[in-house]
Structure formats: C-alpha cells, structure tokens
Structure 1
C-alpha cells in the first residue's frame, strides 16, 4: 500500500473519530440541559470586564451577598431554599461566579485574584454599599482576599465549611499543568471533562460529600448541578481546567492575620469540617464556630432552616442596622 493511500486512510479515520467525539459531546450537552432548570428564575447581569455575571436580587433592607462553592457544577442555586426567607428583611444578592452557572465562561486561566477582583467590582458597582457575605467552601478565600483588597466593602462574614488552609496554598506543578492543557483541548479535552462530570459522578458527590443523609437528596438538586456543569456547551471546562491545575492558590493565613471583620464559621457535623474550622480559629481567635447537626458539606441544601437560624443569631436583626 502506497504512502498516499495510508495517508488517505489515516485522514479519514481521524476525521471520523473527531466527528464521533463531537457528536458524543453534543449529545451529552443536549441531555444535560434538556430540562432547562436553571432558567426558571429572574435574570440580571452585571457586565464585568471579563464577562457577564448572572445574579439574583430580592427583598429590601441591609444587603447580603451569597457566594456559592467553587466548582464547575456549582451555581447560585445552592441558595435557592434560603433566598425567599432572607429577602423578608434584607436585600439579597446571589450571583454565579465567572465560569459557573449562567455567568459567562471565558477561556482564560482562573485565579484567586481574578475572583477577588470580580467580587470587589460587583459590590462596588452593583450593591454599592457595605455588605454582609455568606460564602461556601472553596470560595471563602475570595471573600477574605476581597476584604484585604478593600476594607470598606464587606462587613460581617459567614463561611460555610471553608476551604482547607493548607490545601488552598498548593501551587501548580508539572503534572497539574499537563492535566490543565489536556482538559483545554477542543475535542478530547471536552470529552474528558464530560466523563469527569457525568451525572453519576455528581450523584456520588451528593451521597458521599455534600449530604449527611442520602435520603435527603432530591433528584432536582442533582439534575441542576449536572445541568450547571454542561450549560454553555461544556464551557465550564475552562474553570475545571484551572481548578485541576491548582491555579487558584491562596494564602488564607495571610488574609486572616490582617482582617478586623466579624467572622463566623458554620460547619457540617463531620469531624473533618470541624478540624478545618479550628485551624481558622487558631489564626484568628475571635472567629466563632457552630456545627449543624446531621449535615455535611452543603447544609444550606440539606437543612436550610438550621442555617437560617444561625444566620439570625450571627447577623442579628438587620432592621436594627
């Protein structure tokens, strides 16, 4: 067989494979977003310099900003069981971080400082006054960094299961950089991302990490998270690539040592979350810690009434502000 025939066969096979991968990726996108669950709330957008930021606004009173956990399948839906109650006495803002949910998902390297800038600008240009903040997990460092960046924009802070201080300080290495580049590839990278964020994987996260009691997990919750991971035709892989590459490193200890804000931590009842919270208190003894019984990583979904009770205790009556 001549080299011309070999080249022709190779070209045909490569083209067929590429088309097949494209069709698989497209099918996953269509099935994940078919129910269109994330579009059932009023839409507001803040035109930020790196893309549009989706947010919800409800109620009247002293502002409170809700920041969801950082993952490619997270969104402001995380707060959906709490917004109505909070809005009875406050002006509630719940946004989708850049790269998440209904916000834009540009192909760039996502860093801790990028989100510090985004949150700082959102408060200054949308909320336009000093605000209380409730934040979950890996996004906690963005709020602490925003406080250090500008002391006049954030008042009191409640962190729900904040990120581990040591893990947050991990920097990229050769292996994580390769993984980032692999995920960023147009077809193969998208397929890899789709495999790593399949419905079964997200359901397993809810059972093993997010909820204490798997009987409390609703099908709607897992469907929304799966949809959030794929809305925008898998553009969420851009954030996923940066997280996998450890490009969101932060020095939480340095942030804490320079803050005067009132800071509270709410944890799930698993011992590992209590241990992580205690490390924050070791650095800043003024931090108050409360655990919500029989909850895990996302108590605002599993026991919203328990979280609301603690918010009322920590933040007092906003009408007195």
Structure 2
C-alpha cells in the first residue's frame, strides 16, 4: 500500500549561536500508528546536504512505511549556518545530540551515510539514559582501516591550513564546476555512470553556490574524522545494519579491500551487527534507492519494538 507524507517544509532550531535547518516528514496516518522515527545523517562533500536523502524519503513513503523522518542539515551545509571554523565529528555530534534532545525527544533509528560514521559514533557516545538512539544503519561505511588508523593531528592541521587559504578557495571554485562533479562522481561514487545525471549534478551545483560551504568540505578533506574508532564500534549496543555496495571502493591509496572483506570486518567488530550487500557503489541511498529502502525496511520490521 502506498503511503503519503506531507511535503516537508524547512524548519529551524538554534544550537549555541547557530541557526540550523531540518525537514520533518510525517506520514499521513494517525500518530499512534507511527513507527520509530528515522534520523538521517547526510554525507559531506561539494554541494551535499540533506537533499541527498530526498530520493530515499520519497521511496520510503511510496512503499507504505509509517516512520516519521527527521532530515537535518549539518552545520556548514545546506540551509544551516556556515561559520568559518574547522568542523570535527564531535562538533556535528553535539549538534545532533541537541537536536535529539530538544526537537525529536524520542528514540530513533539513526541512518548514516559513508564516512560520516564517526559523527554517528560520537553521537552515540554522548547519549545518556534513556538512550535516544535505538538502532543504527550504516550505508556504505568506509573501509575499517580508515576508521581505525588515525591521521596525525599535525598533518590534519597542515592540510586544513593549506585548504583554508586563497589557494583552497580557488580550488573550491574549480571543484564545484559540473564537469568536475560529474567526473568525480563517476570515478568515486557511482557504479552506474548513467545515474550521474542532471538531477544529481544540479543538486551539487546549487548546494555549492555559497562559497562558505567549503569550510565543512575542507574539514572533511583535512581528515579530522580520521581517528581510531575501533573501540567505539565494538561498544555499540544497538542492533546495527551494515549495507555495502557490491562495487564499493575506498578513498585510500593503500591496497583496496573487497566489499566482502569490508563487510566481514564490520561484522567481526560489531556486537549486534548484521550485513547486507546490494548492487551499487558508495552512495547507495541515492544510486540504489529501491534496494536500500527494502533492506532498511526489513531491518526495521525485524527489530521493531513498541514505542
């Protein structure tokens, strides 16, 4: 049965001295029939924001699901404020923790895309009782080596200082060109080059129009997320689903692991983990929306609890 949700409007909340944006999707059913809300964490990259999830949100309700969806813009992205700072996973996690406590105020399934996994881990570590994160879904997580081998703080700072310069600003102008975005997406993100279409590229170009959006991207490129998170992953008590693309690839220049190896590495470390491999590469909620939606729905149904 197809389920509809009201078209979300952009809403705002304040965190510290910043104005932060989010969308709230509410299925068109009585509230006592709502399932566990989904809280989505979008990836960081040139032009990326909460709009990354729009295709998934549409598919979710077209398939009859009744979970409300909270889709926030991380600080420095989309319609949230874009201060000129070096962002760390702990910064974004503190933003999400505030969002959980003051806006959502109920347990959620946290769905995180790609290398924003450290933000999810930091958010989980900030939880007090009762824990507002009930389940966890990792879409296209990085190779375990990237999650456990930190980049030195000196190297991170040097990279940030290089990017946070007129040279970096010029690079960002180049990187937000449709030709560059198309080439990068084809080489690094999508298994099917035909899906690097005008809809995807228009989203990125519009998202990168404000030059202040470069600070979040440069924070990611500087590697502030590259820490040793092995213990944090092993400490996750929530049921956790790992969704890997059958053509997943790594940004690391070291020897590439296979999708099977990457999935096995996570399942070996997670206390309550399960894994699924679906067609696609590194942006599964966008490239393989139908398969990803069905996989997440099966996980939700299997691990559903009364609210």
The two structures share one fold, judged by TM-score above 0.5: yes
- Matched length: 278
1:179 corresponds to 2:153 = no
**In 2, are the aligned partners of 1:50 and 1:106 still within 8 Å (CA)?**
no
Cα root mean square deviation, aligned: 2.3
SS at match of 2:275: strand
1:244 and 1:139 map into 2 onto residues whose CA distance is 12
1:47 corresponds to 2:14 = yes
1:153 maps to: 132
1:308 and 1:263 map into 2 onto residues whose CA distance is 16
More helix by share: 1
Provide Cα deviations, 1:16-69, integer angstroms capped at 9, x if missing partner. xxxxxxxxxxxxxxxxxxxxxxxx962111211152221110114231111111
What are structure 1's unaligned runs of at least 5 residues? 1-39
1:245–1:50 distance in 2 versus 1, CA, 3 Å: farther
Which of these two proteins has the greater Rg computed from alpha carbons? 1
1:282 maps to: 268
**In 2, are the aligned partners of 1:172 and 1:247 still within 8 Å (CA)?**
no
Provide Cα deviations, 1:215-246, integer angstroms capped at 9, x if missing partner. 2332111121122123x2x1022122222322
2:144 maps to: 165
What are structure 2's unaligned runs of at least 5 residues? 1-6, 28-33, 249-257
Provide Cα deviations, 1:193-212, integer angstroms capped at 9, x if missing partner. 22234322211122122221
Provide Cα deviations, 1:73-129, integer angstroms capped at 9, x if missing partner. 221111111213435401111111111222211111211111121111111111111
**Deviating more after overlay: 193-202 vs 283-292:** 193-202
1:292 maps to: 278
1:150 and 1:224 map into 2 onto residues whose CA distance is 33
**Deviating more after overlay: 296-305 vs 125-134:** 296-305
1:124 corresponds to 2:101 = yes
Length-normalised TM-score, structure 1: 0.79
2:277 and 2:246 map into 1 onto residues whose CA distance is 6
Q: How does 1:76-155 map to 2 (within 5 A)?
A: 76-87=50-61, 88-150=65-127, 152-155=131-134
